[in-house]
Amino acid sequence: MERISVVFMGTPDFAVPSLKRLIANDSFDVSLVITQPDRPAGRGKRLKPPPVKILAGDYGIPVVQPAKIKGNEELMKRLREISPDFIVVAAYGKILPPEVLKIPRIAPVNVHASLLPAYRGASPIQSVLLNGEEKTGVTIMKVTEKLDAGDIYIQREIPIFSHDNAKTLHDRLAEIGGELLVESLPLIASGKLKPVPQDEDRATYCTQIKKGDGRIDWSESAQTIFNKIRAFTPWPSAFTSFRGKHLKITEALPVDGAGVPGQVVDIDREGFYVGTGRALLKILKVKPEGKREMSAADFVRGYRIKPGDKLGVQV
């Protein structure tokens, strides 16, 4: 049986399971990987290769890292020479121009981390947590010029657990995306899996997350703040301030009660309780400025937290 030829376009950790499963499956021939250029990272601002580049290099797959796609004739020539059955996109990071979408013989396909048409855009994982959704999933869809608006081939739904944060949900969705991708491509190639148009009336959008979005407003409800902590852990983190220094809240629970927003109301063996606009937030884990993450109980002992202490002064 002739192998299905694939050009893979992806950049961050989310794309890694999809590429890994394509490489591991004898049904596919990944002839080229396209990823974003290396970016400065860390305190030393050294150039860091994307996770997808590292994986492709481990398997000897050619990698290109174009600064731009549109108008890149060298890249277009190479893609036309390969003439792949599919171009597979998984969190590549840029909108693809029409000339790229016309190249695959069967289809350009995207792995998207939501149940489209809901949560089109750059932050579907954080956004479902921010909004307190109870389910999400992965969509395998045809790529079009309009953002995440292409016809749907297949979807898989999963529950969102109360203990999920952006990291745990990201990792589950990334693995499911890889599974669904290798299941669906042969069915698409054979014509057994037909694309279905999205319902535009049900479309919702999410925006790029910015570092400042994680600042906690203690006048909001405990549930809203809890959702923010889940959505922004590990990045950009949900943060406040304490005694003039930055304080990340990494784990908490909304509980019944009332208190002045931002003020410590009570303390027990597991942590401490802070007033919000509605109910209380029980703080379970924190990361003080310049320190490692610690239990709220250790934080209480080390910083001698007491009822009446205030969180949320600007830093």
Task: Specify the residue for token string 């019944």.
Answer: 256
Q: Which residues contact 309 (CB under 8 A, 6 or more apart)?
A: 242, 263, 264
Asked if pLDDT for residue 296 goes beyond 80, the answer is yes
314 within a domain of the structure (yes/no): no
Instruction: Give tens-digit pLDDT for 7-53.
Output: 999 999 999 999 999 999 999 999 999 999 999 887 788 899 999 99
pLDDT range class, residue 1, cuts 50, 70, 90:
low
Q: What is the mean pLDDT of residues 196-214?
A: 95
In the chain, DSSP finds a helix count (H) and a strand count (E) of 8, 17
Whether residue 224 is found in the same domain as residue 155: no
The answer to the question of residue 76 being in a domain is yes
Q: How many domains does the chain have?
A: 2
Residue 315 predicted with pLDDT over 80: no
Task: Encode pLDDT of 104-155 as tens digits.
Answer: 999 999 999 999 999 999 999 999 999 999 999 999 999 999 999 999 999 9
- Nearest-5° Cα angle at 54, 96 to 80: 35
Domain region containing 284? 211-303
Is the same domain home to 173 and 120?
A: yes
Question: Is-cis flag, bond preceding 234, omega within 30?
Answer: yes
In this structure, the answer to whether residues 188 and 221 fall within a common structural domain is: no
pLDDT tens-digit series, residues 175-188: 999 999 999 999 99
Question: 171 with 238, same domain?
Answer: no
